[in-house]
């Protein structure tokens, strides 16, 4: 009890700073408008009784849970689902599900905020995507008799060691969990090592392997590629972070010497960086255009900025080779998910840091589907190698696609355990 009191006091002190960051206006970031009240538990009623509550904090988790939501509604058309996100960009992603779900913003982790939400929504159970664990939320939800399941759960060795330093905090979280559905056996072993009851832990696999590429997305990719140019080398640097764009652009500058008509699709991870990255490209002398530009002719473009949200699959599909960002900036990020380009049979390049997706990346490495690059020079060398040898690029893409297909099935296992 005293641990939660201390935590709540610290949260109260930190809340103003967290809220400033959350509500700060940034280019490309949707506004919360009057819905900011929902963060304080002042939640509008929903037209449903005892809905299933799914929490996906932001964009990545919202994308990951989308196949689960679609499958749940396919099996149980009358099942009401309320999805909460903390961020407005996550809300924008969930909005793409239309009337399959109802969206609400997640209440802050104060007991009275969570109680306000529960009183209005009265959910039948709570599903948490990945490992978004908040002490007061878990305590209040569990005390209300609502089962809590963590789905698609992952726990890196680094995070496990951090929890071990504060074992009493983890115990506080764990006692409220009904079950934890892990992506891999290694994740399950770490949860058990921390003291979670083995009977509560299941290995379902990663639902991220159960990627659904729609015909609409395929056609949109073909249309984009036709706009960008069918007969030119095109590579994409996806989900880049600050400090990586310069490295990627250096690699592209070198590539242009070998392939003068090559094109880089550059997609920053965060929308607030779109303008800065576009300015950086222009300042370095690249002929730069943006996806939101009205221009329709891109024959002489050298860099194409993907400055929209929720279209990553479309832009990946339009490229020949994918470099995944978040993997060149030391331990600050820990990599991003390679499975979307793998599902599209793209040869993959990645930086050396990928601890957040260690299992997935290691599996792709073992199957010769991804090449690790430490710097701009190595990225350039591998790009030239793959563009010089289309057969090698195609073989790498096939290996990546096979990894995805061979590991599918987590979706069905997850739904069986939560319904």
* Residue pair 26/99 in contact by the 8 Å Cβ criterion: no
Query: Dihedrals φ, ψ of 353, to 5°?
Result: -105, 115
Residue 61 is a catalytic residue:
yes
Beta bridge partners of 288: 303
Which residues are within 8 A (CB) of 158 and not within 5 positions of it... i.e. 6 or more apart? 331, 334, 355
Residue 214, judged by CB atoms within 10 A of its CB (0-12, 13-18, 19+), counts as exposed
| Token pair for 330 | 């030391």
CB-side neighbour CA atoms (13 Å) of 243: 10
* Residue pair 236/319 in contact by the 8 Å Cβ criterion: yes
Question: What residue has token string 């749940």?
Answer: 72
* Residue pair 221/318 in contact by the 8 Å Cβ criterion: yes
Which residues are within 8 A (CB) of 397 and not within 5 positions of it... i.e. 6 or more apart? 344, 345, 346, 347, 369
Helix (H) or strand (E) holding 73, with range, is helix 59-75
Least Cα distance to 307 among 299, 318, 315 occurs for: 315
Q: What's the Cα-to-Cα distance from 289 to each of 109, 120, 228, 296, 316, rounded to whole Å?
A: 42, 47, 11, 10, 17
Catalytic one among 61, 92, 244, 340? 61
Distance between CA atoms of residues 304 and 178, nearest Å: 46
Which residues are within 8 A (CB) of 146 and not within 5 positions of it... i.e. 6 or more apart? 53, 118, 123, 124, 125, 126
Distance between CA atoms of residues 189 and 205, nearest Å: 14
| DSSP H helices in 259-389 | 274-283, 312-317, 339-343, 358-366, 376-388
Distance between CA atoms of residues 39 and 18, nearest Å: 12
Q: Which residues are catalytic?
A: 61
């Amino acid at each position: 009890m005293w641990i939660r009191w201390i935590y709540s006091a610290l949260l109260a002190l930190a809340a103003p700073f967290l809220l400033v960051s959350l509500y700060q206006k940034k280019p490309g970031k949707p506004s919360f408008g009057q819905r900011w009240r929902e963060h304080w538990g002042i939640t509008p009623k929903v037209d449903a009784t005892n809905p299933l509550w799914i929490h996906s904090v932001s964009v990545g988790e919202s994308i990951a849970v989308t196949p689960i939501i679609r499958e749940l509604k396919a099996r149980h058309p009358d099942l009401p689902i309320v999805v909460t996100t903390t961020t407005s960009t996550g809300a924008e992603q969930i909005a793409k599900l239309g009337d399959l779900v109802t969206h609400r913003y997640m209440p802050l982790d104060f007991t009275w905020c969570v109680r306000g939400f529960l009183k209005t929504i009265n959910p039948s159970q709570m599903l948490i995507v990945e490992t978004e664990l908040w002490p007061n939320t878990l305590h209040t939800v569990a005390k209300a008799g609502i089962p809590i399941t963590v789905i698609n759960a992952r726990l890196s060795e680094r995070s496990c060691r951090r929890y071990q330093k504060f074992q009493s905090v983890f115990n506080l979280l764990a006692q409220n969990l009904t079950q934890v559905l892990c992506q891999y056996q290694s994740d399950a072993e770490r949860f058990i090592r921390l003291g979670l009851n083995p009977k509560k832990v299941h290995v379902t696999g990663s639902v991220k392997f159960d990627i659904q590429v729609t015909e609409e997305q395929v056609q949109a990719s073909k249309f984009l590629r036709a706009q960008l140019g069918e007969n030119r080398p095109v590579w994409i640097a996806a989900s880049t972070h600050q400090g990586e764009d310069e490295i990627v652009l250096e690699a592209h500058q070198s590539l242009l010497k070998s392939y003068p008509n090559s094109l880089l699709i550059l997609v920053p991870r965060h929308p607030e960086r779109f303008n800065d990255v576009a300015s950086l490209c222009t300042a370095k002398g690249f002929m730069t255009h943006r996806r939101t530009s009205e221009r329709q002719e891109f024959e002489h473009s050298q860099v194409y900025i993907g400055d929209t949200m929720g279209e990553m699959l479309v832009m990946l599909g339009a490229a020949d080779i994918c470099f995944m960002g978040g993997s060149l900036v030391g331990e600050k990020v820990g990599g991003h998910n390679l499975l979307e380009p793998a599902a599209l049979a793209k040869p993959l390049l990645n930086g050396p840091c990928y601890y957040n997706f260690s299992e997935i990346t290691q599996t792709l490495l073992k199957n010769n589907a991804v090449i690790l690059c430490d710097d701009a020079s190595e990225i350039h060398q591998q790009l030239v190698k793959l563009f010089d040898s289309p057969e090698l690029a195609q073989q790498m893409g096939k290996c990546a696609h096979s990894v995805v297909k061979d590991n599918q099935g987590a979706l069905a296992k997850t739904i069986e355990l939560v319904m």
